[in-house]
Structure 1
């Protein structure tokens, strides 16, 4: 039995209202098969590039019902922060939303540096538009103890961020960090708010991310959620990217690539979630002089190092060959054969052990 036109319109209105609260449009809102008066069509959205599919249905009263599919909302062009990479911005539907919660994931703990570097690159782009406002970076004591703080002297040199433009807030617990992030996200005194957490804590659920997303929308400021070794979970963030470190290319000079050198910082950015639902993976380089991203072309990829990073143990089988030049050091104080120093070098061994 076909759904009545009034009931169908009510369902569509409720879905649009829920999507507006969550900050996302439903990816698929279709009328039942064979619905009367269906007029499919396509319209160009407000994004710099991309097509939003729109279908128009007429109910029994003759009024039009517009259904937008694939999550491409009509929004002003200045509602997004473009990365400058055409392919990435197109896949994201225009770039990162300026007034929303965005997730930046690192699959492993060792990717924390790449995630932080990518967030600082985005902060540099944000501060270019919001001059005079600082960025607040929130984290727990565990986060800063594990990953450390950004190097103050490198902020200005690599990202053009003055040390006074980046404020840190260290919270003892995750609940405290979430409370600080919610209060800061509603303020217009910050250009952006960065919340860094570790893993997938159950306290960072869909309700908590909805509050952060709603505060960001209300203040018109971006909130970046950095996840160290976090799993992809349902959140209210319309955008999620997975960032890892990419091998640095050789430094480019007038005479060509300089062999054995380390070039600009590079990131591998994969789209895990977006309004367009378009997949993609990009290798980006950060230009510290122009403070802008550049997409690396295939010929600039660095070849894999055929030498093992760490040689195998001498007691293991088939040890890896030594890399580089072998230097001879004085044998004074070297351990004896067998891997242990002579007993006379450890006078503490002759002392009686303490009891209790």
Structure 2
């Protein structure tokens, strides 16, 4: 018991020291009592009502529950595209989150800053203004597109943009796993988002998961779209609304999950779907009988007929005497 108490005291002391360095309050392990009790989260100190408004709900109950209320509004959030071909899906998912953010109200601020390196935009393509306005309600007048040549310039622009209150969100799109994008750089972006109270989305293309300061990491790829339906029924060979496969790679709750979400560009909402051609995996039977044991020993069988010597070998009688088997006298 004494060792357990000492271990808990050591953990609490370390948590207080980390909170003092980061300028935040330590998390509360136990849930508060009923009522408007004080809720302590990482970097957030508020009542229940204010704590609920600190998260951006996606509208999908399963995903929001796995993320303990949704995506944090004042934080750095990572959106990963595992391969280059997932660049469009990952960017579309981030823009859908921005549309949800602007729909929920960002104190009248609707401008978005999108930053990235030129090599990435040459590979994945630049934003298409008519598509952004039609699918996500983002007009060109509210988009500040900032392509730069070097990674250091992109990080600097992202930090400066995160300081401004005129943007409802900042998108930083990078490719791969550059060494300059380390824990220190992501901690600076996360700190800027906390200070200004706006989200910073780190959109990473063809990147592997690595330690960062972002409390949430989602891996996004394209999913089969559902058939477009009308009052007369589904239309053959018609593509429906965009769909995304979202996998939780990192979150505050550490709960895994995979969801297929469809984006309704008319209502600006997400809802979970199951693709028409998908099938549930059938688990292996737990009461299946074991394989039968081996019938016996494995023996070599002699050929039925007499095997003749190869053409390039002389008969046994004509072989030299020293190659013949000798009998002990």
For 2:157 and 2:33, locate their aligned partners in 1 and report how far apart those are by CA, in whole Å. Answer: 40
For 1:274 and 1:24, locate their aligned partners in 2 and report how far apart those are by CA, in whole Å. Answer: 19
Aligned equivalent of 2:283:
none
Whether the 8 Å CA contact 2:25–2:40 is kept in 1: the answer is: no
Counterpart of 2:81 (choices 85, 106, 109) is: 106
Confirm whether residue 133 of structure 1 aligns to residue 149 of structure 2.
Answer: no
Counterpart of 2:122 (choices 145, 148, 164) is: 145
Confirm whether residue 12 of structure 1 aligns to residue 12 of structure 2.
Answer: yes
Summarize deviations over 1:68-91 as a string: whole Å, max 9, x none.
9xxxx9771000010011100110
Whether the 8 Å CA contact 2:113–2:170 is kept in 1: the answer is: yes
Deviation at 1:26, TM superposition (A): 7.5
Whether the 8 Å CA contact 2:227–2:240 is kept in 1: the answer is: yes
Whether the 8 Å CA contact 2:27–2:40 is kept in 1: the answer is: no
Whether the 8 Å CA contact 2:26–2:40 is kept in 1: the answer is: no
* Aligned partner of residue 238 in structure 2, secondary structure: coil
Confirm whether residue 251 of structure 1 aligns to residue 228 of structure 2.
Answer: yes
Counterpart of 2:167 (choices 153, 168, 190) is: 190
Aligned equivalent of 1:176:
153
Matches within 5 A, 1:155-304: 155-296=132-273, 298=274, 300-302=275-277
For 1:303 and 1:11, locate their aligned partners in 2 and report how far apart those are by CA, in whole Å. Answer: 46
Deviation at 1:13, TM superposition (A): 3.3
Counterpart of 1:97 (choices 72, 80, 85) is: 72
**CA pair 164-42 structure 1, distance change in 2 beyond 3 A:** closer
Deviation at 1:16, TM superposition (A): 4.1
Counterpart of 1:118 (choices 93, 117, 120) is: 93
Structure 1: where are the runs of 5+ without partners? Answer: 30-40, 47-65, 305-356
For 1:24 and 1:243, locate their aligned partners in 2 and report how far apart those are by CA, in whole Å. Answer: 31
Whether the 8 Å CA contact 1:24–1:275 is kept in 2: the answer is: no
For 1:264 and 1:223, locate their aligned partners in 2 and report how far apart those are by CA, in whole Å. Answer: 26
**CA pair 186-157 structure 1, distance change in 2 beyond 3 A:** same
CA-based RMSD? 3.1
Whether the 8 Å CA contact 2:117–2:150 is kept in 1: the answer is: yes
Aligned equivalent of 1:63:
none
Figure out how many residues of one structure are paired with residues of the other and give that number: 269
Whether the 8 Å CA contact 2:82–2:208 is kept in 1: the answer is: yes
Summarize deviations over 1:303-356 as a string: whole Å, max 9, x none.
69xxxxxxxxxxxxxxxxxxxxxxxxxxxxxxxxxxxxxxxxxxxxxxxxxxxx
Q: Which moved more, 1:281-290 or 1:128-137?
A: 128-137
* Aligned partner of residue 164 in structure 2, secondary structure: coil
Confirm whether residue 77 of structure 1 aligns to residue 49 of structure 2.
Answer: no
* Aligned partner of residue 241 in structure 1, secondary structure: strand
User: Between Structure 1 and Structure 2, whose CA radius of gyration is higher?
Assistant: 2
**CA pair 137-244 structure 1, distance change in 2 beyond 3 A:** same
Summarize deviations over 1:236-273 as a string: whole Å, max 9, x none.
00000000000111101112221211100000000000
